[in-house]
Structure 1
Amino acid sequence: MRISAAQRTENENRVRAAMDRLLRGELPPGGKCDVKRLAREAGVDRTAFYGTRPYAHLRVEFERRLQLLQQAGEIPDRREAQIDRLKMENAKLRERLAQSEQIIDELTGFRTQALARLAAQHEEIVRLREAAAGTSRVSRLPTPRTTVTGSCS
């Protein structure tokens, strides 16, 4: 069905207004900032944005403006912004996890080494005590007596 020049101009104005709203981030709940949403918001058939159809140039303009916003770090689509934020957060958490695992491995190695040293020191102490018990020149000191101090009345 053919439309008049006035209808086409009116549709283009609606598309441009919808494009401005979407690129400002005025998206309905659960909506994405894409050509499908643009067509729905403007009340125009989505197929009119593709190929040699009448609004293909508006789709190109919309995608170009959207890409410029994304390159500038502004993402009008809240879902896309949330996905990007969660991806960055996920990457940070994975990095922290890798660091934690490395620290745990280092501490486990340190613990193993410390326990081995303690065991070796204990064995040396036991050996020295046995050697000291067998030597006649070494005499043991008597254990000190504990005295009870009391007050005389």
Structure 2
Amino acid sequence: MRISAAQRTENENRIRAAMDRLLRGEIPSGGKCDIKTLAIEATVDRTAFYGTRPYAHLREKFERRLQALQQVGEIPDPREAQIARLKAENAKLKERLAASEQTVDELTDFRTQVLARLAAQHEEIVHLRESAAGTSRVSHLPAPRTTVIGTCS
């Protein structure tokens, strides 16, 4: 079905108005900032935006404007913004988790080394005590004297 020039102009105006609303972040419930939602909002058949159809140039303009907004960090679709934020948060949490795992590994290695050193030192002490008990050159010190402290009256 052919449309008149006036109808085509009216459709283009509706598409441009819907495009502006979507790019401002006025996304309808259940919609996204995409061609499908643009077509629904402008009450135009979605296939009219593709190939050599009459509104392909408006689809290209919409996609360029959307891409330009995304490049400067603005995401008009709240769902897409939330997804981007959650992905960034997820990446940060993965980095923190990796750092924590590395710290745990380092501390576990340190603990193992410390326990090995303590065991070696204990073995050395036991060996020295045994060798000291077997020699007569070692003299034992007398036990410390205990003194009774009197009270002044």
Q: Normalising by structure 1, report the TM-score.
A: 0.89
Secondary structure in 1 matching 2:32:
coil
Unaligned runs of 5+ in 1: none
Secondary structure in 2 matching 1:30:
coil
- Correspondence for 2:65: 65
- Correspondence for 2:25: 25
- Correspondence for 1:144: 144
- Correspondence for 1:46: 46
Deviation of 1:149 (Å): 4.6
C-alpha distance in 1 between matches for 2:150 and 2:29: 85
- Correspondence for 1:115: 115
- Correspondence for 2:134: 134
- Residue range with higher mean Cα deviation, 32-41 or 127-136: 127-136
The total of aligned residue pairs comes to: 153
- Correspondence for 1:56: 56
- Residue range with higher mean Cα deviation, 134-143 or 50-59: 134-143
Deviation of 1:22 (Å): 0.4
- Correspondence for 1:100: 100
Unaligned runs of 5+ in 2: none
Q: Normalising by structure 2, report the TM-score.
A: 0.89
- Residue range with higher mean Cα deviation, 137-146 or 56-65: 137-146
RMSD between superposed Cα atoms in Å: 1.8
- Correspondence for 2:2: 2
**1:69-80 superposed matches below 5 A:** 69-80=69-80
Pair 49,141 (structure 1): closer, same or farther in 2 beyond 3 Å: same
Q: Percent same amino acid among aligned pairs?
A: 83
C-alpha distance in 1 between matches for 2:149 and 2:96: 60
> What letter corresponds to residue 105 of structure 2 in structure 1?
D
The one-character-per-residue Cα deviations of 1:80-127 (angstroms, maximum 9, x if unpaired) are: 122222222222222222222222222211111111111111111111
- Residue range with higher mean Cα deviation, 138-147 or 126-135: 138-147
> What letter corresponds to residue 139 of structure 1 in structure 2?
S
C-alpha distance in 2 between matches for 1:128 and 1:51: 91
C-alpha distance in 2 between matches for 1:147 and 1:41: 100
